[in-house]
């Protein structure tokens, strides 16, 4: 199968040839004809399988072949994404695909000044990539109109709900034209997303090119168990032992990102970090340096779990497990992309056993475990399996306590020289809460 056989026009084929695209991926092969036919679509596929091209190519063709010229402050197609990084990545891909087409593209997101974005939108934009919050800000300031909108695309809709964008999505949905084409693309689809799709889409075609919520088989995954306090030490040990050259590390909190980066830099290791508290320009600079191999270790919160596309990234390390199990799939999906192989290592402590169990249940696989010499945990990490069970070792029966004088505590009875003589048991004193009521007032 070729891209030409999917019905794409010649300018798009030229762009794909320049980019080195040869054969459509499974999601592209199914999605492109459906979008060209005008169908609403709900497509699930593993991350790194070419979902962006699956919706962007037919979208650009439809905009080129039909519809009036875009008016001032208007958009003809809207692509909603959860993070700034993903907005930049999706827009760059759309821009490259549209290189030979008479279409305008732009991306808007928070963390940067809104004024240049308002100026850019005055001329109108054919394809706008946006995060929900900034899109609503622009709409409320009358910098955007949706009366020309033909197509709405939600990319990574599950992540948008996880990040608390459900109210913003509802507000956006209410101001869009009822007559439009709507497409949902994501690596994972929760039941909440499927409910959302039922409300927003009209008789959608459902595409699932891989088992639901399954991580890419191009990524080798395993767990190293360790005590929480020794995670930084273990990470540095593994990095030196494996002679890691380029590693993307995921931490749970912003403070965790900063602490690990500071520790690595203190050892002379070229490391940088990104999280939601950092300005967009700083985040983008860190990403660009990491992509150019100027930074060896990039530590990030889940802002980088989606929207970070690095060619041949060899390794992802989960310094902390994600709270939302689906984010594990997106995290490790940063490696092993486009058919390449990769590795994903998770450092897991006893506190994270339930998170590990949730990941294994979601991915339908029990992750192999390793223990590193001299890093064996004092707090045992209970065994888990893909059924969602946490396997606890049976507790050893407690030995009866002995007290002085040869007496053994048997509850209400005490064994002594004469076992037939009972001794009264001592009842525990019941604690009564004390309330400070102040000085008591005498009744008149």
Average model confidence (pLDDT) across the chain: 82
pLDDT greater than 70 at residue 243:
yes
Domain-ending residue, one of 186, 208, 230: 208
- 263 and 151 both lie in a single domain: no
Q: For residues 250 and 319, what is the distance between their CA atoms, to the nearest angstrom?
A: 6
Q: Tell me, yes or no, whether 404 lies in a domain.
A: no
pLDDT greater than 60 at residue 249:
yes
Q: For the CA atoms of the chain, what is the radius of gyration?
A: 29
pLDDT level of residue 200 (50, 70, 90 thresholds): confident
Question: Greatest CA separation found in the chain?
Answer: 104
Q: For residues 384 and 370, what is the distance between their CA atoms, to the nearest angstrom?
A: 14
- The burial class, CB within 10 Å (0-12 / 13-18 / 19+), for 89 is buried
Q: Higher pLDDT residue, 228 or 276? A: 228
Name the helix (H) or strand (E) containing 72. none
Instruction: Tell me the mean pLDDT in the region 410-429.
Output: 42
Q: For residues 275 and 250, what is the distance between their CA atoms, to the nearest angstrom?
A: 10
pLDDT value, residue 111 = 83
- 199 and 225 both lie in a single domain: no
Instruction: Tell me the mean pLDDT in the region 275-293.
Output: 84
- 44 and 176 both lie in a single domain: yes
- 41 and 174 both lie in a single domain: yes
pLDDT value, residue 202 = 87
pLDDT level of residue 207 (50, 70, 90 thresholds): confident
Q: Tell me, yes or no, whether 419 lies in a domain.
A: no
pLDDT level of residue 143 (50, 70, 90 thresholds): very high
- 185 and 248 both lie in a single domain: no
Name the helix (H) or strand (E) containing 342. strand 342-348
DSSP string, 358-372: HHHHHHTSPPPEE--
Q: By the 8 A CB rule, do 369 and 387 touch?
A: no
- 250 and 197 both lie in a single domain: no
pLDDT level of residue 415 (50, 70, 90 thresholds): very low
- 200 and 306 both lie in a single domain: no
Q: What percent of the chain has pLDDT over 90?
A: 48
Residue with tokens 């809709």: 157
Please name the residues in contact with 180: beta carbons below 8 A apart, sequence gap of 6 or more. 149, 150, 151, 152
Q: By the 8 A CB rule, do 27 and 43 touch?
A: yes
- 253 and 312 both lie in a single domain: yes
pLDDT greater than 90 at residue 140:
yes
Please name the residues in contact with 429: beta carbons below 8 A apart, sequence gap of 6 or more. none
pLDDT value, residue 411 = 43
pLDDT value, residue 164 = 73
Domain-ending residue, one of 208, 236, 268: 208
Q: For residues 110 and 82, what is the distance between their CA atoms, to the nearest angstrom?
A: 11
- 11 and 120 both lie in a single domain: yes
Alpha helix (H) residue ranges in 176-271: 191-200, 231-242, 254-266
Instruction: Tell me the mean pLDDT in the region 324-332.
Output: 81
pLDDT level of residue 433 (50, 70, 90 thresholds): very low
Q: For residues 107 and 94, what is the distance between their CA atoms, to the nearest angstrom?
A: 10
pLDDT value, residue 401 = 53
pLDDT value, residue 392 = 57
pLDDT value, residue 425 = 44
Neighbours of 438 (CB within 10 A): 6
Instruction: Tell me the mean pLDDT in the region 71-87.
Output: 92
Q: Tell me, yes or no, whether 397 lies in a domain.
A: no
pLDDT greater than 50 at residue 427:
no
Q: For residues 280 and 285, what is the distance between their CA atoms, to the nearest angstrom?
A: 8
* Angstrom distances, CA of residue 117 to CA of 89, 113, 261: 17, 8, 33
Q: Which two tokens stand for residue 372?
A: 């590193």
pLDDT value, residue 167 = 84
Q: Tell me, yes or no, whether 180 lies in a domain.
A: yes
Q: For residues 127 and 102, what is the distance between their CA atoms, to the nearest angstrom?
A: 12
Residue pLDDT, tens place only, 46-57: 666 788 899 999
Q: Higher pLDDT residue, 412 or 357? A: 357
- 159 and 234 both lie in a single domain: no
pLDDT level of residue 437 (50, 70, 90 thresholds): very low
pLDDT level of residue 217 (50, 70, 90 thresholds): confident
pLDDT level of residue 80 (50, 70, 90 thresholds): very high
Instruction: Tell me the mean pLDDT in the region 162-171.
Output: 80
Query: The domain spanning residue 359 has which CATH number?
Result: 3.40.50.300
Q: How many residues does the chain have?
A: 444
Q: Tell me, yes or no, whether 303 lies in a domain.
A: yes
- 241 and 361 both lie in a single domain: yes
pLDDT greater than 90 at residue 394:
no
Q: By the 8 A CB rule, do 329 and 212 touch?
A: no
Residue 391 pairs in a beta bridge with 383
Q: 3-class SS at 174?
A: helix
pLDDT level of residue 410 (50, 70, 90 thresholds): very low
Q: Tell me, yes or no, whether 402 lies in a domain.
A: no
Name the helix (H) or strand (E) containing 116. helix 115-121
Q: Higher pLDDT residue, 338 or 375? A: 375
pLDDT greater than 70 at residue 418:
no
Q: 58-62, 300-304, 421-425: which range is least confident on average?
A: 421-425
pLDDT value, residue 25 = 86
Which range of residues forms the domain containing residue 369? 219-391
pLDDT greater than 70 at residue 211:
no
Domain-ending residue, one of 373, 391, 409: 391
Q: 113-122, 154-163, 385-394: which range is least confident on average?
A: 385-394
Please indicate, yes or no, whether the overall pTM of this predicted structure exceeds 0.75: no
- 9 and 46 both lie in a single domain: yes
Q: Tell me, yes or no, whether 416 lies in a domain.
A: no
pLDDT value, residue 5 = 92
pLDDT value, residue 407 = 43
Please name the residues in contact with 132: beta carbons below 8 A apart, sequence gap of 6 or more. 80, 82, 160, 165, 168, 169, 172
Instruction: Tell me the mean pLDDT in the region 201-206.
Output: 87
- Name the domain count of the chain: 2
Q: Tell me, yes or no, whether 34 lies in a domain.
A: yes
3-state helix, strand, coil in the chain (%, to 5): 35, 20, 45
């Amino acid at each position: 199968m070729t891209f030409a056989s999917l019905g794409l026009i010649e300018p798009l084929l030229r762009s794909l040839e320049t980019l080195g695209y040869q054969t459509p991926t499974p999601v592209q092969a199914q999605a492109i004809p459906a979008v060209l036919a005008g169908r609403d679509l709900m497509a699930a596929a593993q991350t790194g399988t070419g979902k962006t091209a699956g919706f962007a190519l037919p979208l650009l063709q439809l905009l080129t072949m039909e519809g009036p010229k875009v008016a001032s402050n208007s958009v003809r197609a809207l692509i909603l994404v959860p993070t700034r990084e993903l907005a930049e990545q999706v827009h760059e891909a759309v821009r490259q695909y549209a290189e030979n087409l008479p279409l305008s593209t732009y991306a808007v997101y928070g963390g940067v000044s809104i004024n240049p974005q308002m100026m850019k939108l005055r001329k109108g934009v054919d394809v706008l990539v946006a995060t929900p919050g900034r899109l609503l800000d622009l709409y409320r300031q009358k910098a955007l109109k949706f009366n020309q909108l033909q197509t709405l695309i939600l990319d990574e809709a599950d992540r948008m709900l996880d990040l608390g964008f459900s109210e913003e999505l509802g507000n956006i949905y209410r101001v869009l034209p009822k007559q439009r084409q709507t497409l949902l693309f994501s690596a994972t689809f929760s039941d909440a997303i499927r409910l959302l799709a039922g409300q927003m889409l009209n008789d959608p075609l459902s595409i699932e090119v891989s088992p639901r919520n399954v991580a890419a088989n191009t990524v080798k995954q395993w767990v190293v168990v360790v005590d929480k306090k020794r995670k930084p030490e273990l990470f540095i040990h593994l990095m030196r032992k494996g002679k890691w050259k380029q590693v993307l590390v995921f931490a749970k909190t912003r403070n965790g990102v900063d602490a690990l980066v500071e520790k690595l830099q203190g050892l002379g290791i070229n490391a940088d970090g990104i999280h939601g508290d950092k300005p967009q320009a700083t985040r983008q600079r860190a990403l660009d340096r990491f992509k150019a191999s100027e930074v060896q270790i990039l530590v990030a919160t889940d802002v980088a779990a989606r929207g970070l596309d690095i060619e041949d990234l060899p390794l992802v390390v989960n310094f902390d497990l994600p709270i939302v199990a689906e984010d594990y799939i997106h995290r490790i999906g940063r490696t092993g992309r486009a058919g390449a192989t990769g590795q994903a290592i998770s450092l897991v402590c006893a506190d994270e056993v339930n998170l590990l169990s949730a990941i294994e249940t979601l991915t339908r696989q029990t992750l192999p475990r390793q223990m590193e010499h001299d890093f064996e945990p004092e707090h045992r990490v209970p065994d888990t399996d893909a059924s969602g069970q946490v396997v606890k070792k049976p507790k050893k029966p407690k030995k009866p306590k002995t007290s002085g004088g040869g007496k053994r505590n048997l509850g209400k009875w005490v064994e002594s020289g004469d076992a037939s003589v009972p001794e009264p048991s001592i009842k525990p004193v019941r604690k009564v809460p004390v309330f400070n009521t102040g000085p008591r007032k005498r009744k008149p």
